[in-house]
């Protein structure tokens, strides 16, 4: 392996040695892979599931301390995957392994270029090694690596699982679907009448209560006893509605533009008021 990336040349001796040990699995520097040779299809993603992510973040041994990483904070990186911070995920097969190349937005410096991250996994989803060119990338458990892992997990689940609304048989179809109607004809009571067993949606039949009095008659009697003046119910229930409409037409004001005449420009206020009263008497309407 002689084709090293420019990033590798910037590392010091200790970090470069550790970097070589990680990429020796595939015998190629992932940063030197050309993007045109990669695939962006979900079918080519490694089978990375949530247990694989947990095993990598918590139980993988660090190359520096030789102890388990226990990066519990990395489990919160699913929020970045859900928020669309993962901009691109590509895959390429090398030495029977899958190299995942990804670009993730910075969490604190959004205006800067996305991070370049790579992950090496088995086909089964077991994460072998990972790296990122961010400040915390040498630790192998930065949020950008974790966000890509969660992104792969979510993409695979979306492809294999279907939501309730995707399946026709899962929809709860209502037993009764009402048709549009006027407000005056809508009964806002229970779905079944309190007086008999007939449903209210049968508008064509006259519904009566046990006393034999029609429902419309009960409404008229009830409204006639109310001393509320011109309420909303009075405007839609006959015979109150017709009376209110007649009253509105009688009290309708004349249009001021029709009263304008040049000769009235020199009239006094008293004369103009008399002209207005005369117009109201003659019922000049708009």
For residue 244, cis peptide bond before it (omega within 30 degrees of 0)? no
Element holding 264 (H helix, E strand): none
- pLDDT interval class at 208 (50, 70, 90): very low
pLDDT in tens, 159-170: 877 666 666 666
Average pLDDT of the residues in 74-80 = 82
123 pLDDT more than 80: yes
Compute the chain's Rg from CA coordinates: 39
Residues 6 or more apart whose CB falls under 8 angstroms from that of 154 comprise 78, 81, 82
pTM of the model: 0.53
Please give the share of the chain, as a percent, with pLDDT higher than 90: 15
Q: How far apart are CA 192 and CA 200, in angstroms?
A: 6
Report for 32-36, 179-183, 270-274: range of highest mean pLDDT: 32-36
Please, are residues 138 and 121 in contact by the beta-carbon 8 Å criterion? no
**DSSP-assigned states of every residue in 81-112:** HHTT-EEEEEEEEETTEEEEEEEE--SS-TTS
Average pLDDT over the chain reads 77
- The whole-number pLDDT of residue 228 equals 60
Beta bridge partners of 93: 98
125 pLDDT more than 60: yes
How many CB atoms within 10 Å of residue 151?
26
| Number of helices followed by number of strands (H, E) in the chain | 9, 4
SS3 121: strand
Task: Supply angle C-alpha 66, 67, 69, rounded to 5.
Answer: 115
Beta bridge partners of 98: 93, 121
SS3 127: strand
Instruction: Please indicate whether residue 245 or residue 51 has the higher confidence score (pLDDT).
Output: 51
Q: How far is CA 105 from the centre of its chain?
A: 22
Q: How many CA atoms lie within 13 A of 72 on its CB side?
A: 0
- The whole-number pLDDT of residue 247 equals 58
**CA dihedral over 58, 59, 60, 64, signed as positive or negative:** positive
Report for 21-35, 69-83, 194-208: range of highest mean pLDDT: 21-35
């Amino acid at each position: 392996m002689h084709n090293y990336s420019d990033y590798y040349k910037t590392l010091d001796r200790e970090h470069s040695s550790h970097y070589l040990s990680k990429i020796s699995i595939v015998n190629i520097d992932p940063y030197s892979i050309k993007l045109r040779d990669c695939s962006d299809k979900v079918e080519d993603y490694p089978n990375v599931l949530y247990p694989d992510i947990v095993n990598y973040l918590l139980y993988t041994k660090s190359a520096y301390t030789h102890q388990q990483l226990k990066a519990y904070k990395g489990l919160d990186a699913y929020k970045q995957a859900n928020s669309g911070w993962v901009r691109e995920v590509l895959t390429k097969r090398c030495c029977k392994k899958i190299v995942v190349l990804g670009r993730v937005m910075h969490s604190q410096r959004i205006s800067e270029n996305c991070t370049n991250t790579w992950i090496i996994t088995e086909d089964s989803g077991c994460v072998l090694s990972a790296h990122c060119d961010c400040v915390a990338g040498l630790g192998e458990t930065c949020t950008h690596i974790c966000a890509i892992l969660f992104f792969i997990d979510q993409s695979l689940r979306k492809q294999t699982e279907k939501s309730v609304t995707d399946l026709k048989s899962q929809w709860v179809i209502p037993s009764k679907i009402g048709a549009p109607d006027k407000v005056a004809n809508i009964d806002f009571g229970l779905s079944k009448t309190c007086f008999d067993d007939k449903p209210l949606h049968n508008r064509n039949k006259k519904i009566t209560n046990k006393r034999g009095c029609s429902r419309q008659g009960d409404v008229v009697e009830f409204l006639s006893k109310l001393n509320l003046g011109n309420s909303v119910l009075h405007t839609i229930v006959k015979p109150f509605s017709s009376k209110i409409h007649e009253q509105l037409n009688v009290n309708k004001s004349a249009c001021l533009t029709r009263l304008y005449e040049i000769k009235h420009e020199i009239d006094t206020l008293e004369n103009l008021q008399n002209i207005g009263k005369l117009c109201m008497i003659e019922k000049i309407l708009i």
